Amino acid sequence: MSTLAEVAPSAAVTEVELTYREAINAALEDEMAADDAVVLLGEDVQADGGVFKTNIGLVEKFGTARVRSTPICENGFLGVALGMSLTGLRPVVEIMFSDFLPTAGDAIVNQLPKYRYMSGGQFAVPVTIRSISGALGRFGTQHSATGESWFMSLPGLRVVTASSPGAAYELLRASIRDNNPVIFHEHKAMYGRKGIVRRGAVAGGAWQGRGAPRRPRRDDRRDAADGGAGPRGRRGVGGGRHQRRGHRPALDPAAGRANGRGVTRKDRPACRGRGAGSRRWLGCDADLGTHHGGPGLAKCAVRREPALRPADPVQPPAGGRDHPVRGQDRRGGARRHGSMTTAAGVGAAAGHGFDANSLIIERVETIALRAPLARRFSGSAYSMDNRCTIVVRITTADGLVSETYSGDTDDEQALILDIIHRELAPAIIGRSARDPEGAWAAMEPATNNILRDRGLALQAIAALDTAIWDVFGRALGQPLYRIWGAVTDDLPISVIGGYYHLDLPETADLIRHYVEMGFAGVKFKVGGRTPAEDAERVLVAREAAGPGFALMVDANQGYDRAQAVDFGRRVADLNLRWFEEPCRWTNDRRWMRDVRYQTGIPVCAGQSEFTLRGLRDLIVDGAIDVSNFDASWAGGPTIWRKAAGLCAAFGVELGHHEEPQVASHLLASSPNHTFVECFDEERDPFFWKLTSMSSRISNGRYRLGDGPGFAIELDWDYVRAHTVDTRVTER
């Protein structure tokens, strides 16, 4: 009978990048090579590497005696596997879909986990059941179950699932070597994901598979990601120092995404960061780990892969000398005076003169701007000849005046102005700007007109909501990102470019120019040509930018699903930070989910959703890794901050579509932020000429100021030169 002691030692450990599918195949190959007692059986495991191509090359290398295809009879061939294990073999049984595990219920519930106990420990049952689970595109309801929880309460049975290729390789090898029956779940959507695999390693820690089961100790309840899974005195896989579960560092994307226990994981280079996104939420299988059931079984140690991250650090650490709240400035400057405002600080400031009669809105002024562009800018299915925006000046009885601008609508600009002055201004005049939520509720009825595009009313509300928050910040004398709870005072900044009027050499020159200007990355336009042509353009951009420059692509809903997947596979090796709005609106949520799963590239979307329920559905359907929900389209900062909370609940990262003058404050107060973005001067003269904000860009980062509110100071000569409409509504 094969035992762990008789298994040949593993070869030297080498690190290689494999997909999840390849990691499963490598684990099977290495265990079958190390121990002649390991056999593989299941439906169609001999044919072309199996249905999911995890068994490629095994029958050719080990022969049909050790790789056996079976009839469609799960309970039958699991019974055969039990007999094999009792005669000294270590069978690995593939159940093609976890939906069919219940058909083998007698073997799984009554035979495999009980035989060792029934024999008084005289027999081991080293049977590994590989079960493929989860929903994915073409599979029906009866082939899409996630059965990880079905058998967790059974004594004597281990249940394992791995959240990365590295964990899958080591845990599958450990499962095969274990002397207890193990169900090893493989999610279909993980098969295409890439990661670093320590070829030759086997998961260790508490799970060693030797001898009889023992009573669990208190230490076994520690999570493996804490570096302490396993019995007292041992370490989990990875060997990191144990951190007690009570230790919860603040969420810090620069240091790595926090796991479900609140403990931040170590980082790794961005070039290894492809996959279904840092969220790891596939269907309903968030943050997959390992579990066991029943008394006396130790929890399995899990090798967790480092968190995915953008190419540029997203924000400073949440505490210590590098935090913007205290200590030295990161650039070596003197210690800042005055900490960022906390909730208590806002309350204290509000106590100085804030009462029911404070900040009463008396006047609403709008100034519509239009700046003709030097050329037509074309994306996948749209073009732009002008840059437009609306300046809003709200005046209160206290003499405070907002100075904000938002929105970029051209053709409908007059309609938005009508809504502001005919419906919204009368609703907020006489109200206090110290209650932005109340003001928003007073404006909300404008969205209920079913004969009008609801998005126009939300853009109008957004313009006033932004101005009301600006007044609120000016009254407190603090920038809004601090009032909202600052996590940083500078952000990585990317530029939007790569339009179709450029040929390939011009594209390369433009990208090099962006690098020289001090941007951290570029969001590059695709979706307007064939996947092959766009992939060639992106390759030119990557070669011009170099490996350290973040590269995102934006199809503006230009592809159908097949085209988006085709494009994603063509650029799979170019280290894309994300793929934005890859699919057309007709079925975008489901198609974007498929793009995530089939290409392994994180997906970004949300700008075209202007309601919270729309963003919610994107997240719940598993369509996105990054949200670029746009405050200027969706009702303003009041709604965007609710969207940020929704994203935080699901582990979705945050961006923002354009509007850096507002987005920078929103993102700087959100722990899971990514990049603030802008256009270059040719595409958006307002960011570069209407204010001085462009001067805050340096070394890939955008520095927020200390001025109150949004700290926008307009160049009034430039305003007057581009004004096309001015309106006032007052008390």
At 525-580, the pLDDT tens digits run 999 999 999 999 999 999 999 999 999 999 999 999 999 999 999 999 999 999 99
The CA angle 283-455-281, to the nearest 5 degrees, is: 10
Considering the domain boundaries, does residue 644 fall inside one? no
The 10 Å CB-count burial string (b at 16+, else e) for 267-296 is: bbebebbbbbbbbbbbbebeebbbbbbeee
Consecutive H or E run containing 361: strand 361-378
Sheet holding 361-378: strands in order across?
404-406, 383-396, 361-378, 723-730
Q: Is pLDDT above 70 for 215?
A: no
- Tell me, yes or no, whether 181 and 55 share the same domain: yes
Identify the residue whose tokens are 């994300």.
Answer: 578
Most confident of 181-190, 230-239, 585-594: 585-594
Give pLDDT, residue 141. Answer: 65
Do the Cβ atoms of 37 and 44 come closer than 8 Å? no
Q: Of 699, 267, 678, 286, give the one whose Cα is nearest residue 496.
A: 678
Beta strands in 555-687 (DSSP E): 579-580, 603-605, 626-627, 653-654, 676-679
Range of the domain at 181: 15-292
Instruction: Name the domain boundary from 476, 503, 530.
Output: 476
The CA angle 246-250-252, to the nearest 5 degrees, is: 135
CATH number at residue 422: 3.30.390.10
Q: Which residue has the higher pLDDT, 331 or 207?
A: 207
Q: What is the mean pLDDT of residues 677-686?
A: 94
- Tell me, yes or no, whether 117 and 234 share the same domain: yes
Considering the domain boundaries, does residue 657 fall inside one? no
- Tell me, yes or no, whether 233 and 117 share the same domain: yes
Q: Is pLDDT above 50 for 462?
A: yes
- Tell me, yes or no, whether 251 and 399 share the same domain: no
Q: Of 381, 389, 392, give the one whose Cα is nearest residue 410.
A: 389
- Tell me, yes or no, whether 373 and 252 share the same domain: no
Q: What is the mean pLDDT of residues 80-105?
A: 80
Whole-number Å distance between alpha carbons of 620 and 731? 45
Give pLDDT, residue 124. Answer: 83
Whole-number Å distance between alpha carbons of 184 and 182? 6
Whole-number Å distance between alpha carbons of 405 and 459? 12
In 87-134, alpha helices (H): 105, 115-118
Q: Is pLDDT above 50 for 290?
A: no
Do the Cβ atoms of 675 and 655 come closer than 8 Å? yes
Q: Of 204, 208, 230, 234, give the one whose Cα is nearest residue 217.
A: 230
Give pLDDT, residue 55. Answer: 79
Considering the domain boundaries, does residue 498 fall inside one? no
| Least confidently predicted of 90-94, 142-146, 429-433, 548-552 | 142-146
Which entry of 143, 656, 657, 665 is annotated as an active-site residue? 143
Give pLDDT, residue 158. Answer: 86
Helix 454-476 vs helix 343-350: crossing angle, to nearest 10: 70
Q: Is pLDDT above 90 for 194?
A: no
Report pLDDT digits (tens) over 617-655: 999 999 999 999 999 999 999 999 999 999 999 999 999
What percent of the chain has a predicted confidence (pLDDT) above 90?
A: 49
Give pLDDT, residue 179. Answer: 86
Pairing of strands 550-554, 361-378: unpaired
Consecutive H or E run containing 170: helix 165-177
Considering the domain boundaries, does residue 45 fall inside one? yes
Considering the domain boundaries, does residue 201 fall inside one? yes
- Tell me, yes or no, whether 102 and 182 share the same domain: yes
Q: Is pLDDT above 50 for 339?
A: no
Give pLDDT, residue 203. Answer: 65
The 10 Å CB-count burial string (b at 16+, else e) for 65-79 is: ebbbbbeeebeebbb
Consecutive H or E run containing 387: strand 383-396
Q: What is the mean pLDDT of residues 450-457?
A: 94
Whole-number Å distance between alpha carbons of 545 and 548? 8
Query: Within the chain, how many helices (H) and strands (E) appear?
Result: 22, 23
Reduced to 3 states (helix: H, G, I; strand: E, B; else coil), residue 270 is helix
Verify whether residue 543 is a known catalytic residue.
Answer: no
Which entry of 22, 43, 74, 580 is annotated as an active-site residue? 74
Q: What is the mean pLDDT of residues 61-73?
A: 82
Report pLDDT digits (tens) over 395-416: 999 999 999 999 999 999 999 9
- Tell me, yes or no, whether 263 and 380 share the same domain: no
Give pLDDT, residue 547. Answer: 93
What percent of the chain has a predicted confidence (pLDDT) above 70?
A: 76
- Tell me, yes or no, whether 288 and 368 share the same domain: no
Q: Which residue has the higher pLDDT, 555 or 198?
A: 555
Q: Is pLDDT above 60 for 659?
A: yes
Q: Which residue has the higher pLDDT, 669 or 352?
A: 669
Give pLDDT, residue 188. Answer: 74
Q: Is pLDDT above 80 for 149?
A: no
Q: Of 516, 466, 464, 371, give the one whose Cα is nearest residue 661.
A: 466
Instruction: Name the domain boundary from 450, 476, 502.
Output: 476
What is the band of 378 on the pLDDT scale with cuts at 50, 70, 90?
Answer: confident
Reduced to 3 states (helix: H, G, I; strand: E, B; else coil), residue 96 is coil
Whole-number Å distance between alpha carbons of 300 and 550? 37
Q: Is pLDDT above 60 for 115?
A: yes
- Tell me, yes or no, whether 63 and 205 share the same domain: yes
Q: Is pLDDT above 70 for 12?
A: yes
Q: What is the mean pLDDT of residues 646-666?
A: 96
Whole-number Å distance between alpha carbons of 31 and 10? 9
- Tell me, yes or no, whether 364 and 280 share the same domain: no
- pTM reported for the whole predicted model: 0.58
CATH number at residue 259: 3.40.50.970
| Least confidently predicted of 378-387, 606-615, 690-699 | 378-387
Considering the domain boundaries, does residue 400 fall inside one? yes
Whole-number Å distance between alpha carbons of 538 and 144? 35
Give pLDDT, residue 138. Answer: 61
Reduced to 3 states (helix: H, G, I; strand: E, B; else coil), residue 640 is helix
Q: What is the mean pLDDT of residues 502-516?
A: 96
Sheet holding 128-133: strands in order across?
67-69, 38-42, 90-95, 128-133, 182-187, 158-161, 290-292
- Tell me, yes or no, whether 277 and 368 share the same domain: no
Considering the domain boundaries, does residue 587 fall inside one? no
Verify whether residue 143 is a known catalytic residue.
Answer: yes
In 477-547, alpha helices (H): 480-483, 504-517, 531-545
- Tell me, yes or no, whether 32 and 108 share the same domain: yes
Give pLDDT, residue 355. Answer: 79
The count of structural domains within the chain is 2
Instruction: Name the domain boundary from 292, 319, 340.
Output: 292
Backbone φ and ψ for 543, nearest 5 degrees, come out as -65, -35
Please count the CA atoms within 13 angstroms of the CA of 371 that sit on its side-chain side: 20
Considering the domain boundaries, does residue 243 fall inside one? yes
The CA angle 324-326-330, to the nearest 5 degrees, is: 50
What is the band of 353 on the pLDDT scale with cuts at 50, 70, 90?
Answer: low
Q: In whole numbers, what is the pLDDT of the chain averaged over residues?
A: 78
Give pLDDT, residue 142. Answer: 65
Helix 637-650 vs helix 436-443: crossing angle, to nearest 10: 100
